[in-house]
Chain A
Amino acid sequence: MDDFEKRLKRDAEGINTDISPQLTSRIEASLLAAERIEPLRQNRSETSNLWWASSLTGLAAAAAVIALLNWNRPEPEAVLPEQTAFQVVPDAQEYLQQIQGRLPLRAETAVFKDGLEDELTRLQADFEKARESVNRDIEFTF
């Protein structure tokens, strides 16, 4: 403590503070009339009991809701056998058998018809020429 701090302390003590008896009795009287304000405290055991009680209540409520939902649920429909993805798509041969006679297959015949008819016409013309040639030869021979 340096000189400055000593002087601060000494000068503070130089302030006269005689406590009058009236002030003392005033303070005593006001303290007698004062009521202490106690904070709202909950001790640890009370808090933990409340925690358990609230947890159990929550669990019971959750169980009741689950039971209620299961009770009111409609009966499930007949369970279909499980089908895998490749079984859902029908077999190619079976599919062709199923659609046979139901689908008109006309596109292919239309494509090749003209060429064959021309060829047939030419063959008939050649055949006619050959027959006339043979008849002419027979007439000339007999």
Chain B
Amino acid sequence: MVTDEQLVEASLQGSAAAFNEIVERYQERLLRFLLTRSASRADAEDAIQDTFISAYRYLYSFNPRWRFSTWLYRIALRNVASQPWRYSQDAEIEPTDPEDPLQICLVASDHENVWLTAKRLLSDDAYSAMWLRYVEDMSVREVARALNKSVSWAKVTLLRGRRRLKLELADSTTAAARSESYG
């Protein structure tokens, strides 16, 4: 299988098909991430379009020392951060908002989607760090790089986020079991 870095090299040498392959590989993953960070699906689609355009234009500045996905997510995070509708870090996010794209896109399940809980409990950066670490399988260093933070910040944030989510899930599980026993 051709690696991302080989596709980048081919694209730099003028292959349009190589960059199309990159788009194919990442558009779903990126959109899934951006849907959890955007106010609407349209905004998430705008953000993904801007991300691919920026990646194409500045492909020469990609440093092969890092994984291509780290660089691409970094661009995506910048695009999200520059959008005017962006939630404030301190603002309370209302996950039950019917306009929330994450709420709309969730597949029906017997339990609450953990990312919906994460969106409610964690800050934007902590949420992104958790996503990049556990969904995109990035290392702690890559998470720090993508978010433009220090490695120690990433370690602490991941630890706290994980602990908080686990506690919340444990509480909700206990509450569900209790309501079942009463019912």
Q: A27-B23, A37-B60, A39-B61 are in contact. Are A14 and B52 (CB under 8 A)?
A: no
Q: Say whether B109 faces chain A, with CB atoms less than 8 Å apart.
A: yes
The residue in chain B whose Cβ has the minimal distance to the Cβ of A4 is: B166
Category for how many chain B residues contact A: 35 or more
Q: Are B49's CB and A8's CB within 8 A?
A: no
Q: Say whether B77 faces chain A, with CB atoms less than 8 Å apart.
A: no
Alpha-carbon separation in the docked complex, A41 to B114 (Å): 47
Which residues of chain A in 30-47 are interfacial with respect to chain B, using CB atoms and an 8 Å cutoff? 30-31, 34-39
Q: Are B32's CB and A12's CB within 8 A?
A: yes
Number of interface residues of A (CB under 8 A): 25
* Secondary structure dominating the interface of B: helix
- Chain A residues with Cβ below 8 Å from B19 are 31
Of B81-89, B90-98, B99-107, the one contacting chain A is B99-107
0 or 1 for each of B129-143: is its CB under 8 Å from A? (1 = yes): 011001100000000
Q: Say whether B68 faces chain A, with CB atoms less than 8 Å apart.
A: no
Which residues of chain B in 23-56 are interfacial with respect to chain A, using CB atoms and an 8 Å cutoff? 23, 27-28, 31-32, 35-36, 45, 48-49, 52-53, 56
Q: Are A15's CB and B52's CB within 8 A?
A: no
Of A16-24, A61-69, A133-141, the one contacting chain B is A16-24
- Chain B residues with Cβ below 8 Å from A5 are 134
Alpha-carbon separation in the docked complex, A38 to B27 (Å): 24
- Chain B residues with Cβ below 8 Å from A15 are 32, 35-36, 102, 105-107, 113, 115
For the complex formed, measure the closest distance between the CB of A42 and the CB atoms of chain B, giving whole angstroms: 14
Q: Say whether B162 faces chain A, with CB atoms less than 8 Å apart.
A: yes
Of the candidates A12, A16, A23, A31, which one forms a contact with B131 in the assembled complex, judged by CB atoms under 8 Å apart? Answer: A12
Q: Are B135's CB and A14's CB within 8 A?
A: no
